Chains A and B, each alone.
Chain A
């Protein structure tokens, strides 16, 4: 049985990602820390708390509104930040969190517009994404 070590979460809403020591392709587990607390993890994992959760609340085109905020993970990437999520698999990059989130919002809207354009000629997953996005993105009727 794997040994456990104890890590102390430093902040609320910190996403602690545990990686296998041999590969960064497969996260072993993600823990969202809602309350500062101790976290016990297996010794064969390494952890990083340099990702955090945020939310995108608007889209770049005033014709479209989000029915609810979309939760994104913000990841430092050298001098830049990446905002991304695991449902639609879109990402945005910027020098600030706002820039990264704005770029993410533009990518999400561009993705939605493509899915609408190819509706009926989409793979099962992309069709499912379109169904979810139709509930998440409200299109303002033009007069």
Chain B
């Protein structure tokens, strides 16, 4: 299912992701000690993000789509994300 950009940006704000505007809207996620742990982007002008792109954005956050949905639905906040991130099977190292 596609997700609206508004919902997705709301989810990223819940992670306290830092936004940087360039050609796209860039979001960087830092751990509590200031370590950069993830970076993703959303194209400017888009109103909806397709299922394929939601999957890629989830990958960039080291999540599966179902966990990203939990963040968008407000079930998960930053703390839950950081806890999941520590053992995420999506991480290479």
Contact = CB atoms under 8 A, between A and B. Distances in A.
Q: Does B bind A? A: yes
Interface of A: 24-25, 75, 77-78, 82, 84, 89-91, 93, 106-107, 110-111, 114-115, 118, 121-126, 128
Q: Chain A's interface: helix, strand, loop or mixed, by majority? A: mixed
B50 interface: yes
A91 B31 CA distance: 23
B91 interface: yes
Q: Chain B's interface: helix, strand, loop or mixed, by majority? A: mixed
A114 B39 contact: yes
Contact of A128 (B53, B55, B92): B92
Contacts, number: 55
Contact of B53 (A82, A90, A110, A126): A82
A25 B55 contact: yes
Given A25-B65, A114-B36, A93 B43 contact: yes
A110 B35 contact: no
A77 B55 contact: no
B93 interface: yes
